DNA sequence: AAACTGTCTATTGTGGATAAAAGACAAAAT
DNA sequence: ATTTTGTCTTTTATCCACAATAGACAGTTT
């Protein structure tokens, strides 16, 4: 099959939720904007809803006939884009399955393993190569450089340089800059999670990403912001497969964040640098610990 | 045609030069190593040389029969890899041909223009996207972000951070580290070019790349070294299409380099920082001037 | 007049096919 | 005992085809 209709299926599922909340759906362009898809896909969704007797559709009239049932939804496995599937599958192989540095990566084998064409695997590897974990031998295989101690040290070195600079420029943002409001919301969430840490410590990972991305974004430098993608992917997969002491680690990091946030709000460069350094140091230690 | 045999043609041309210098060629594996290709390609080369009556080949005996003539070589256009062709073609479009920021980039149109398949163009764009000049809309076109003043400022900001740090770590290299010998050779070349600047100023661009790459490499950080690719490609194409005052600019940069090299050799952190900053500042100004 | 729908075209994402190139292995030569 | 060669298999680089998706335009509705 040439292309999976995952965009359609995913948008259809999201549209079912919209449908559950009203008695009639809006115009096609409006739905397209709401779902982030083209009118072509919107019309495919409406057609399908008509088939399922969910909707009476005649030109502008889109009357909801009944509430969606669980079986109306497409299963979650079918809504993942191919590149997500490849990414997960690849990360599992190299992070979870003890892959040795120096190992060869074979496009064809990977594609057969995942059950997909070589083109998609190849494109994934090219995109992924910017993370510095693999390297291409032209006309030949890829080499896995490995999630090693050196990798973590190099990554955190750059991260610290970038974040210190971003934090400094955060303090220089105008008082009415929207980032301050974002910071407020993030701080509130920190307090909420800390108050119920035993049950909610798992929410830290996502909040951590949101906070640091906000700081990096204030650098207004695309290279700094883009670099944060590497941090994100490393920490994302890393947290998934290393859950020792997660509760304590996350509680400590949340406290450090609060200190860091207070420093940002003080706009005092020295205080910001101290708080930022302290947090980055412990983040680095956490990462290094889990590697060996 | 599935794949162009540019590897073969390029290696064949290089092998002709080896052949011109001896009366018999070495073993197949040895030739493979010398040319950086596999034995399969070496054997294709030997076969072709036999056809052209350049070589009498029987197992280990590879006796040179005559000197290569100009018409024995494959034309230079046929030895460029497809990705190089796409890169050049694309860079000409976006740097030379006044491409507006925000412009859409169309894979199919680009492919037709260059006379190649869409897959190769697509892979090029994915690889190229890490340079921050283009951005993908999923399921849709690419957007050209443009070689703008902001781009140059963001690029140089990171460059300066990275180079200052690399220069500092350069001073910390052991006295017998090979980088010091490389630095000597580079310094000598600077003096040679300066002594005959009117004729040789065009050699600066390549020397500049070599010098800064050497400095960046001493950081031992793959992210810092990889980032230098962006600098390289920007300056490479930039110099090609902006030749105003090249002689004066290059002479000045060479002097700055010599000062910078002397500072590195002094191992005095403060002096290194001063020299490095001064040179980076003027490099930034040169780049910015040429943008507007 | 502005927004919406019907219809049609163009482009992207992905699998499959194929020549070029890499590389494995055993037999042969030094 | 290495190294080299002959032969064969596997993988990569590239083109092409086609379904999914985006997007353009004219006619229709409010």
Residues A224-249 pLDDT 10s: 999 999 999 998 888 787 788 889 99
Same structural domain, B164 and B272: yes
Expressed as residue numbers, the domain containing B247 is 149-291
Last residue of a domain, one of B90, B116, B144: B144
Percent of chain A with pLDDT over 70: 99
Lowest mean pLDDT among A1-5, A153-157, A201-205: A1-5
pLDDT at A137: 97
- Strands (E) across A155-236 are located at none
Same structural domain, A207 and A173: yes
State the total domains in chain B. Answer: 3
Establish how many alpha carbons lie within 13 A of residue A94's alpha carbon, considering only the half-sphere containing its beta carbon. 25
Find the mean pLDDT for residues A44-60.
97
Sequence-distant (6+) residues with CB within 8 A of A237 are A91, A95
Covered bases, chain C (protein CB within 7 Å): 3-24, 29-30
A130–B220 C-beta distance less than 8 A: no
Residue B1 maps to a domain: no
Same structural domain, B28 and B159: no
A123–B221 C-beta distance less than 8 A: no
pLDDT at A97: 67
Same structural domain, A71 and A103: no
CATH of the domain at B162: 1.20.120.530
Q: Which of B119, B122, B222 sits opposite A132 (nearest CB)?
A: B222
pLDDT at A242: 76
Same structural domain, B259 and B154: yes
pLDDT at A171: 96
Same structural domain, A182 and A284: yes
Residue-wise pLDDT tens digits, A62-118: 999 999 999 999 999 999 999 999 999 999 888 776 688 999 999 999 999 999 999
Same structural domain, B180 and B265: yes
Same structural domain, A153 and A273: yes
A139–B7 C-beta distance less than 8 A: yes
Last residue of a domain, one of B144, B159, B174: B144
At A292, the pLDDT band (50, 70, 90 cuts) reads: low
> Could you please report the per-residue DSSP string of B98-161?
TPPTT-EE-HHHHHHHHTS-HHHHHHHHHHHGGGSSEEEPTTS-EEE--S-HHHHHHHHHHHHH
Residue-wise pLDDT tens digits, A176-214: 999 999 999 999 999 999 999 999 999 999 999 999 999
Same structural domain, A154 and A280: yes
- Strands (E) across A50-160 are located at 55-58, 61-64, 104-105, 134-136, 142-144
pLDDT at B258: 98
CA end-to-end span of chain A, whole Å? Answer: 43
Residue B282 CA, chain-centre distance (Å), reads: 22
Q: Which residues does chain B have with pLDDT short of 70? A: 97-98, 292
Residue A64 maps to a domain: yes
Same structural domain, B273 and B216: yes
Residue A1 maps to a domain: no
Same structural domain, A90 and A193: no
Asked if strand C comes closer than 7 Å to B31 Cβ, the answer is no
Residue A69 maps to a domain: yes
Last residue of a domain, one of A53, A77, A101: A77
Residue-wise pLDDT tens digits, A264-280: 999 999 999 999 999 99
CATH of the domain at B59: 1.10.10.10
């Amino acid at each position: 099959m040439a292309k999976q209709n995952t965009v359609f299926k995913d948008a259809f599922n999201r549209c079912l939720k919209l449908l559950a909340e009203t008695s009639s759906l809006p115009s096609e362009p409006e739905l397209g904007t709401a779902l982030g898809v083209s009118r072509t896909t919107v019309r495919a969704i409406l057609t399908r809803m008509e088939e399922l007797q969910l909707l009476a559709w005649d030109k502008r009239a889109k009357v909801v006939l009944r509430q969606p049932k669980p079986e109306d939804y497409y299963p979650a496995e079918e809504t993942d884009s191919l590149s997500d599937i490849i990414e997960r599958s690849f990360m599992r192989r190299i992070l979870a399955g003890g892959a040795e540095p120096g190992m060869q990566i074979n496009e064809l084998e990977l594609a057969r393993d995942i059950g997909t064409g070589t083109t998609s695997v190849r494109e994934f590897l090219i995109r992924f190569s910017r993370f510095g974990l693999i390297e291409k031998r032209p006309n030949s295989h890829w080499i896995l450089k490995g999630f090693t101690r050196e990798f973590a040290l190099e990554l955190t070195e750059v991260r610290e340089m970038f974040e210190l600079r971003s934090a400094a420029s955060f303090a220089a943002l105008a008082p009415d800059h929207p980032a301050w409001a974002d910071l407020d919301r993030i701080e509130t969430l920190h307090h909420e999670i800390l108050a119920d840490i035993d049950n909610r410590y798992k929410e830290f990972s996502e909040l951590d990403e949101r906070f640091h991305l906000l700081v990096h974004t204030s650098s207004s430098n695309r290279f700094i912001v883009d670099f944060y993608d590497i941090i994100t992917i490393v920490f994302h997969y890393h947290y998934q497969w290393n859950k020792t002491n997660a509760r304590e680690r996350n509680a400590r990091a949340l406290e450090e964040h609060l200190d860091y946030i207070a420093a940002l709000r003080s706009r005092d460069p020295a205080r910001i640098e101290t708080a930022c350094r302290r947090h980055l140091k412990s983040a680095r230690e956490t990462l290094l610990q889990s590697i060996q």
